[in-house]
Amino acid sequence: MVLEFRLPRVNPHMSKALIECMYAEPGTTLKAGAKLLDLSVDLGDTFLQDCPPISFYRIVMRENAVLRELRVGVGQPCAPGELIAVFSGSASDVVDEPAQRSIRFVTAGIVRHGGMWTENLR
């Protein structure tokens, strides 16, 4: 079974997010509870203030799946609904057909950490 992960709209005002960390490479089997990626959402274009409103989120798997393809890289901006990754139920599944559904995942708010792409720009 082919599954997909599209960038969720974690804030109703977001127009894009930045991929901060990737925790898996294609071919990796991810189990429920595994980290997939971290992202940041900057609402500074929408809400001007002295300290830009930047939030950080982690995408965590809620089911077992094999990561087959990544369509983004660390440091890349993405729009809500953009296809980020393709998964399959097992390593032997053929992924040249359209996805049957989205992966099951949970989004959690996190704090900035040293492994993030923007942290390394300082």
For residue 59, what is the domain's CATH number? 2.40.50.100
Among the listed residues 9, 3, 16, 29, the one whose alpha carbon sits nearest the alpha carbon of residue 72: 16
Q: What is the pLDDT of residue 43?
A: 85
**118 part of a folded domain:** no
CA-derived radius of gyration, the chain = 15
d(CA 24, CA 1): 20
**120 part of a folded domain:** no
Q: What is the pLDDT of residue 92?
A: 83
C-beta neighbour count of 119 within 10 angstroms: 13
Q: With a threshold of 0.85, does the pTM exceed it?
A: yes
- Contact indicator for 115, 56 with CB cutoff of 8 Å: no
d(CA 40, CA 56): 4
Phi, psi of 91 (to 5 degrees): -65, -20
Q: What is the pLDDT of residue 48?
A: 64
pLDDT tens for each residue of 89-105:
988 888 888 899 999 99
Q: How many domains are there within the chain?
A: 1
Domain that includes residue 92, residue range: 2-113
**70 part of a folded domain:** yes
**24 part of a folded domain:** yes
pLDDT at 122 over 60: no
- Contact indicator for 121, 74 with CB cutoff of 8 Å: no
pLDDT at 17 over 90: yes
pLDDT tens for each residue of 23-80:
999 999 999 999 999 999 988 766 666 667 889 999 999 999 999 999 999 999 999 9
